[in-house]
Amino acid sequence: MKGNFMVRLLMALLVLAVFGAYSYVHAAYTPYSGELEAAWSASAAPLEIAATPAPEAAPEAAPVAPAEPTPEPTPDPTPEPTVDPESPAGRAAALGLPAPPDIDVTSWEYTLVNGDHSIGMYEPEQLAYLNQTGDATDIQYSYNPNRCEIDARIAQPLLDMALGCRAAGLPIYLSSSYRSYSAQAANFRRVCENNGVSDGKLNGYYITMPAGCSEHQLALCCDITDKYYEIKSADKVASPTLDWLREHCTEYGFILRFPEEKRDITGVMYETWHFRYVGLEAAKYITENQLCLEEFLALYGVE
């Protein structure tokens, strides 16, 4: 029995020696053994996860002032249109007057008749006849010596003015309008003889016009008074009727034809009773700008 034990002991020692030799040889000839051990050690170590730093709070933005509005570019001023100095507006501007109305200066109502502008043997195409005191409102077209004879184109405006005057409580008398060439020639001779003149002028101003140079022959005017006067003069024919007519005549297209302050231009003595039809636009402009007909027509190149 003792012998068996020894045998087993020897066998165990032999196995142990063989195993030790094998381990030595294996260790000596296995590459990178140290690195593997280190790698193993590293892999076995717990992983350290780097903490992500919390984002820093953004600094509070400073208040931004509202942007100033971009100013609108100032447009270049539109140049004033150049006015032709030879146009009615240009001539008016040169005298400090507003632009005159846009009219056809060759139209019948603007016909100029005076000592320098004769209409020769002119006769109106159509005459009309009005009641002289405005008592009757009809307009007749057949000759009637007891009525005021007028160019038919101004019969209604003249009648309306007479009725307006009567409506204001004032008397009116249409004393003289149309005179033919021959009638004016006879009137010229009579007045010249009565005043001891030969050219129709007294103190340098016409008191009667030669035939062909009178507005009465044109039939676009009328001598208007408050009653019948055999001989008219500025001091004798002053009345509330004439005051009303001077204030309201433009409303009917008429003007006071021969103002006292315009005698050097018209060449005619002051006639407070002589009213001439020129239409509403011209009458308004002439009166508002204190012109006479000659001055008004000069704006349109009429000389």
Q: Which of 156, 206, 150, 139 is nearest to 175 (CA)?
A: 150
Hey, CA dihedral for 104, 110, 113, 118, is it positive or negative? positive
Cα-Cα end-to-end distance for the chain? 177
- Sheet with 254-258, edge to edge strand ranges: 173-176, 221-225, 271-277, 254-258
E strands, 191-260, in order: 201-202, 205-206, 221-225, 254-258
* Angle, vertex CA 215, rays to CA 214 and CA 217, nearest 5: 75
Note if 271 is an active site residue: yes
Q: Which of 260, 271, 281, 288 is catalytic?
A: 271
Exposed, middle or buried, 268 (CB in 10 Å: 0-12/13-18/19+)? buried
**Measured distance CA(145)–CA(129) in Å, rounded:** 9
**Widest CA span of the chain, in angstroms?**
205
Catalytic residues: 271
